[in-house]
A and B are shown apart, each in its own frame.
Chain A
Amino acid sequence: MRIDYTLQHPIALHAAFDVEGFTVLLGASGEGKSLLLRAIAGLVPAQGEPFGGLPAQHRAVGYLPQGYALFPHLNAWQNVAFALHGAQRRQQAMQWLERVHMAEWAERYPVTLSGGQQQRVALARAMARRPQLLLLDEPTSALDPVTREDVMAELIAEVHAFGIPALAVSHDPHLAAVADRLVLMHRRSIIQIGTPEAVYTQPVSGAAARLLGYRNVHRGHIDGTASAPRLVWPEGGVSLPIKGQAVVGMQVEWMIDPSAIRVTDIRDASSDAIPATVEVRHVNGRVTQWGMRCGQARLWVAMHGNQPLPETLALHLPPEAIRYWTGA
């Protein structure tokens, strides 16, 4: 489904993209993502398609706001039945609850349900309205971090089972990684669209890389000569050899994968290595992420297992692993 919306107030925003399967619109806070969803749902004035000009109650959208907004005075099945009419309301509501595996909680009031359960009831309620498009505002924000991944897996499976396009807006890279299609928004415009595989492999800019949750994205400029370019990193207080055709003097954003950085003893290090000290250790399964202080900035280094670190450290950034974008 093609979305093409323009907002003037309270902020100016234009967004046009296709929603296919479970699409995630990824952007930082304050980009107006929630506002865009509310505009599509008809809750804030805007021009665009689909549903342009219709009042909210005539738009076939299922809208799940942050926190899900279940009616506190109604229990689970009554919440779902709110979108239904006729004598069969209760029975139909129960069928929707069964589809999201919440039938046994039908008599419970929202305050007694967990975040994930509330989300499923809200999904059943939104689906009971028979929408052509599902809109989800920050669906991971109200979830318990421990169960979040499972709840999202469940949600996405259900959205696929319902077979209607869903648009989720989020700033959560974890959610972006499980999308069918990814749309990146930066400074109120769309900067990249594609499958998560394509977008994660080739982020179009430093801003895109940051949105995707990549670490080690920094600013710098190109120095040296056209045949032997060097990247000057003012925050780190160093200049590093890089590969490729760079124009001297150009401002760039650059990035390096934490697992590409090599840790050496400063006494054995080359002149291009960066002196570093350990700030923080982040153990995550078999990989340990080290936060290393380099001048005014921090570089993250990923290492397998529990390798001992030399007492005095230097970081070696292989030129072929440094990726940079011009026009920063």
Chain B
Amino acid sequence: MREATHRARLPVAVSALTLILLAAPFIGLVMVTHWRDFGFADGDGSAVLVSLLYSLVALILIIALGTPLAWWLARHPMRGKWLIDALLLLALLTPPLALGLLLASMYGPYAPAGSLLERAGLVLTNSVPAFVMAQFYSALPYYVMAARAAFESVPRELEQIALTLGHSPWRSFLHVSLPLARLGLAAAIALAWVRALGEFGAVLIVAYYPQGIPVKLWVNLQNIGLSAVYPLLWVFFLVAMPLPLMLGLAVRRRHLL
């Protein structure tokens, strides 16, 4: 009996330690923030707007383009799929700064795709599209990986049953696959949002302007100092948190299993 309670205590103790480690930097943030002269630097407000608005655009693009790919990867076995897996891993592995450099070398003003697109009126350097593109590239592989796992967890038989009940493959996807994958898809969206919003390296290279929160934090640090970083960081947490938090709660509330 005593041994059993002893054994049960160990995971609790380890979990507590892990949580303390996880919380430590934020406890530090509470302590180092100058609460008395809490104020914002010039341009902090527009950085928040830029971050929120364009991350949302990037997220929509990621969902629109990533979901069909994730679905296809989850449902269609084929030869040479490891090549696609390798490509996704490659995108995940690339350090953010290197990703920015690679994007610049492809979509920059003198680069092959960049010069073509520029002639068509789409400038992919220091522009809103460039900002969205950098976020898109850095968050897409995370979304595809997570969404694919979500779709793979849906029993194929249920989708097929929907077909035998007279539903088209599209309606079967809409009414069976999507609702059954919703937990995993919500997690994938939350992950993509967090990745897009927090992206620094790739954005810094291809879109120094417009400035979102991560780049503005760096600019504030360079120009003013730490005192200008903490207030913006607090705002960042405040605006970034609601979407993933609400997604998780909303999906779990409707989770009936």
Contact = CB atoms under 8 A, between A and B. Distances in A.
B185 to A, nearest CB: 13
A111 interface: yes
Given A72-B180, A82-B175, A109-B256, A41 B158 contact: no
B160 to A, nearest CB: 5
Interface of A is mostly: loop
A56 B163 contact: yes
A42 interface: yes
B162 interface: yes
B257 A72 contact: yes
A62 B163 CA distance: 11
Contacts of B176: 71
Interface string B102-123: 0000000000000000000000
A72 B161 CA distance: 13
Interface in B164-206: 164-169, 175-176, 179-180
B3 to A, nearest CB: 35
B256 A73 contact: yes
B256 to A, nearest CB: 6
B161 A65 contact: yes
B139 to A, nearest CB: 28
Given A71-B158, A71-B176, A57 B164 contact: yes
Contact of A57 (B166, B179, B257): B166
A72 B68 CA distance: 24
Given A71-B161, A71-B180, A83-B165, 16 more contacts: A41-B164, A42-B163, A43-B163, A55-B163, A56-B163, A56-B164, A57-B164, A57-B166, A61-B164, A69-B155, A72-B256, A73-B179, A82-B175, A109-B256, A111-B257, A126-B165
B157 interface: yes
Nearest to A58: B166
A158 to B, nearest CB: 18
A137 B163 CA distance: 17
Interface in A114-154: 125-126, 129
Contacts of A83: 165-166
A71 to B, nearest CB: 6
Contacts of A5: none
Nearest to A41: B164
A188 interface: no
A288 to B, nearest CB: 43
A63 interface: yes
Interface in A21-75: 41-43, 55-59, 61-63, 65, 69, 71-73
5 contacts: A42-B164, A57-B165, A62-B164, A73-B257, A82-B167
B180 A73 contact: yes
Interface in B130-175: 155, 157-158, 160-169, 175
A55 B166 CA distance: 10
Nearest to B257: A72
Contacts of A125: 165
Contacts of B161: 63, 65, 69, 71
- Centre residue among A56, A61, A83 by max chain B CB count within 10 A: A56
A82 B165 CA distance: 7
A129 B179 contact: no
A62 B166 CA distance: 10
A65 B257 CA distance: 21
A129 B158 contact: no
Contacts of A111: 257
A109 B254 CA distance: 13
